[in-house]
Amino acid sequence: MSEVNTVSFTQMKDGTKEDYELLEKLEKPYLALTADRVLDELRRQGEVSLEGYKITRLDHALQSATRARRDGADIDWIVGALLHDIGDGLAPQNHDRFSAEVIRPFVRWDVSWVVEHHGIFQMLYYGRHYGWDENARDQFKDHPCFESCAEFCERWDQSSFDPEYEQDSLDSFEPLVREVFARKAYDAAIIKEGAVTALTTHP
């Protein structure tokens, strides 16, 4: 008879040590495929997109990440730029926070903070057209990541809707995505809580 690969419980509170050891064992290969699922989601954004834009959501991600790479950004910022809108499909009303949670275990603290808050910072460019407060980002003016988020939006996000821009391919970013998601989750040496790093080595 083959080994049983299901738990004994129907309520979590009834689980045994053996049950949870089994779940931990079975979860490991699933976690190892996170990068694959992220890349698959990016590819889907190239097939199904919001109407009205000149480019797909995948193109926007690739343009943002290409600008980051060409600006001399490091791997965390590049992957952050690539995945800053990864939540658009499932969480269009709060895609920024959703996207931040996808990358938070694997990138520096300031990168995930910027991705989490880029939505409100982007309102600077269009909020007035809806009668919204375009300066809503000012509530974070004393936060150490304020300037990073403002620069992220100006250099890489708001400028990346151009069908004429020569963006790098998704394949060229795949090794970076795999490297980041292969990191140990929530490693303090990676997260560097409270540290703020420059977006770019270029002026």
Average pLDDT over residues 165-169: 98
pTM for the whole thing? 0.94
Per-residue pLDDT reduced to its tens digit, 4-23: 689 999 999 999 999 999 99
Q: What is the pLDDT of residue 48?
A: 74
* Dihedral Cα 78, 79, 85, 87, nearest 10 deg: -170
Q: What is the pLDDT of residue 203?
A: 65
Q: What is the pLDDT of residue 200?
A: 86
Per-residue pLDDT reduced to its tens digit, 59-106: 999 999 999 999 999 999 999 999 999 999 899 999 999 999 999 999
Which domains does the chain possess? Answer: 14-191 (1.10.3210.10)
